């Protein structure tokens, strides 16, 4: 169905002939808006049709005015200078609906609309039609692409809002809905062309011609947008604005820059950043297909003379292993790798396919022949790129967090870090992992954790009482103690035996006969070194030890005699004798308190005033 004007309506012509007024004044039926009811045509390779409805007369020509049209299916503008990222259309595109005429679209680009509060919204795929008398917004396209909301506030006014708080109030003009964008006009100067400036305009030097453009501006309409200034050479605006990026310069409404800053060597040397580390698309399909490994340290010297820890992580199950080593020389790392890889493969009856490391120097030398002998493909990451081996780096962080927490809780010195980090790996294998959506223990062993497995887990560092074996008891020591006290420091290869630190013998002991006080932990004084937690060490060093001395017997009452009263009269200076049977009057009775409790400090000296040093 095609729309038509009032003049072309056959029914209206018939009514006019019947009324005797066949040729009325056409202006009486001239409408300022010509509706069009054509459905949008399908897009084809050669011809594309866009439908708009606009006025047939009295175009606004205002670059800030937009018609909101519910029958249009495109954004239309006749102002090419307002378009960003403009590109010409490769194929012929026709736009129908301009007072019944069909116009050609020249290109497309993006336009940024600014509301009265300064907030902006950017519209893409805005069609440039030079012959369009108005700028047009498709209401349905705004709702579909920008999630715009439209509602009437009064009979003739309405609001058009967007999710990012951009709001355009509008009103009806001749029954056509309009909105206006905000624009802060620049200051225009009507300059006089001097003789020198005229010569520079006629000069062949593009640089001097550009300077002339800076001095001379054409008279502009007081409410129209400024004409963007161009520069030659192309990178002049880029240089003037301190090597601003091309994207930023294209958004500047007052200049026109076509320079591509991605080829500026100065920008590359000054602004180059690291490339993103995208997630690998390869997934492990079985256990031991890919092992991530890393060496962490140095740590303080442990009780077992270790300084570094060697870590392994199976990508498929997230089962991890640790081994503490005294140094990270190539020979030491190679020996531990050979032992640990043999142990892993024997336990699982599978072969390791890939080994990913950070490519450090400790992996070269003696380790490479071992990997070739075992048929393992080494996958080193790029230098100084720990993100490429993110699985191992994350494992390092997690194990160290657990290690510090357990040492702090048990008031234990730093030299027990090796036992703590080994225990942390044991615990981590029995905790759910988001990376594999399960528990590594169950994925590695293929069975569920039992209640007995969970009950065998003890708090690291808790107080334990271990039975003293008969071989260590003294001969005929029938009254000697049968237990020694220590703290729990780890697990062994079997759930029936645990590793403890014996407070009396100052050594590690593996024992099966234990009584655990799971909520009791050692005191800092139980160890020869200060605790790992600096605050615990400070608090223990500065808390005074109170020594209470038994009170001495109370002294007898001290009797203070009353001083003789002053004579009332001087006529009889001789005092009256006190009878022998009358006790002497006492003025007051003073009771001496027992001596105060003596408080001594374990450390520090006394000041001359006998106050302890704080």
For residue range 221-272, list pLDDT tens digits in order: 344 456 788 888 888 888 888 888 888 888 888 888 888 888 888 888 887 8
Hunting for tokens 């001083």 — which residue is that? 563
Query: Which CATH code is given to the segment(s) 451-537?
Result: 2.30.30
Is the CB of residue 462 less than 8 Å from the CB of residue 517? Answer: yes
pLDDT band at 102 (very low <50, low <70, confident <90, very high): confident
Is the CB of residue 293 less than 8 Å from the CB of residue 310? Answer: yes
pLDDT band at 273 (very low <50, low <70, confident <90, very high): confident
For residue range 131-176, list pLDDT tens digits in order: 888 899 999 999 999 999 999 999 889 999 998 889 999 999 888 9
Hunting for tokens 């050669």 — which residue is that? 46
What number is the average pLDDT over the span 183-207?
Answer: 41
Cα 65 to Cα 429: distance, rounded to the nearest angstrom: 66
Bridge-based pairing of strands 157-161 and 507-511 is unpaired
The string of DSSP letters for 247-309 reads HHHHT-TTEE----GGG-HHHHHHH--PPP-PPP-----STTSEEEEEEE------TTS--EE
Give me the residues paired with residue 137 across strands: 68
Bridge-based pairing of strands 290-296 and 354-357 is parallel
pLDDT band at 466 (very low <50, low <70, confident <90, very high): very high
Q: If you compute the radius of gyration of the chain from its CA atoms, what whole number of angstroms results?
A: 47
For residue range 428-439, list pLDDT tens digits in order: 999 999 888 899
The string of DSSP letters for 582-611 reads SPPPEEEEEPPPPPPPP---SSS-B-TTSP
Is CATH 3.30.420.10 correct for 290-445?
yes
- Cα 531 off chain centre by: 33
More reliable by pLDDT, 495 or 492: 492
């Amino acid at each position: 169905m095609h729309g038509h004007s009032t003049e072309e309506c056959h029914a209206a012509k018939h009514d006019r002939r019947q009324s005797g007024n066949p040729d009325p004044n056409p202006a009486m039926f001239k409408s300022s808006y010509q509706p069009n009811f054509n459905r949008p045509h399908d897009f084809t390779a050669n011809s594309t049709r866009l439908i708009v409805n606009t006025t047939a007369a009295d175009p606004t020509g205002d670059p800030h005015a937009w018609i909101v049209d519910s029958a249009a299916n495109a954004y239309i503008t006749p102002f090419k200078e307002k378009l960003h990222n403009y590109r010409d259309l490769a194929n012929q595109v026709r736009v129908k609906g301009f007072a019944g005429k069909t116009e050609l679209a020249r290109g497309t680009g993006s336009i940024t609309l600014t509301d009265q509060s300064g907030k902006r919204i950017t519209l893409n795929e805005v069609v440039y039609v030079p012959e369009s008398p108005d700028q047009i917004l498709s209401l349905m396209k705004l709702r579909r692409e920008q999630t715009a909301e439209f509602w009437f506030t009064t009979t003739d006014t309405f609001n058009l809002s967007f999710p990012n708080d951009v709001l355009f109030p509008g009103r009806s003009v001749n029954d056509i809905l309009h909105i206006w964008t905000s624009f802060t006009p620049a200051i225009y100067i009507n300059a006089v062309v001097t003789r020198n400036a005229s010569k520079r305009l006629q000069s062949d030097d593009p640089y001097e011609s550009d300077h002339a453009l800076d001095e001379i501006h054409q008279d502009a309409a007081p409410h129209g947008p400024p004409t963007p200034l161009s520069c030659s050479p192309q990178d002049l605006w880029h240089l003037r604005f301190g090597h601003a990026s091309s994207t930023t310069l294209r958004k500047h409404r007052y200049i026109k820059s076509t320079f591509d800053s991605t080829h500026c060597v100065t920008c590359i040397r000054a602004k180059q950043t690291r490339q993103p580390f995208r997630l690998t698309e390869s997934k492990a399909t079985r256990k031991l297909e890919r092992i991530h490994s890393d060496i962490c340290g140095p740590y303080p010297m442990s009780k077992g003379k270790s300084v570094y820890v060697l870590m392994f992580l199976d990508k498929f199950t997230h089962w991890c292993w640790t081994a503490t080593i005294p140094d990270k020389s190539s020979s030491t790392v190679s020996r531990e790798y050979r032992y640990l890889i043999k142990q892993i493969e024997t336990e699982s009856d599978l072969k390791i396919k890939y080994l990913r490391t950070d490519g450090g120097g400790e992996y070269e030398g003696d380790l490479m022949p071992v990997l070739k002998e075992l048929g393992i493909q080494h996958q080193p990451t790029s230098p100084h790129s720990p993100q490429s081996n993110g699985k191992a780096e994350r494992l390092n962080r997690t194990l160290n967090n657990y290690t510090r927490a357990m040492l702090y809780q048990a008031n234990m010195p730093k030299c027990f870090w090796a036992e703590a980090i080994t225990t942390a790996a044991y615990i981590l294998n029995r905790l759910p992992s988001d990376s594999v959506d399960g528990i590594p223990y169950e994925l590695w062993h293929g069975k569920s954790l039992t209640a007995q497995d969970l009950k065998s887990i003890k708090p690291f560092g808790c107080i334990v009482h271990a039975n003293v074996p008969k071989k260590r008891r003294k001969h005929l020591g029938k009254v000697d103690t049968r237990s020694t006290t220590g703290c729990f420091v780890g697990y062994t290869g079997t759930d029936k035996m645990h590793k403890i630190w014996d407070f009396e013998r100052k050594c590690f002991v593996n024992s099966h006969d234990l009584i655990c006080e799971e909520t009791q932990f050692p005191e800092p004084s139980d160890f020869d070194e200060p605790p790992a937690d600096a605050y615990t060490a400070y608090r223990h060093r500065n808390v005074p030890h109170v020594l209470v001395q038994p009170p001495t017997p109370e002294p007898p009452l001290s009797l203070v005699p009353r001083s003789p009263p002053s004579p009332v009269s001087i006529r009889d200076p001789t005092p009256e004798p006190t009878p022998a049977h009358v006790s002497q009057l006492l003025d007051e009775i003073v009771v001496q308190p027992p001596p105060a409790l003596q408080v001594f400090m374990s450390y520090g000296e006394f000041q001359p005033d006998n106050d302890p040093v704080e």
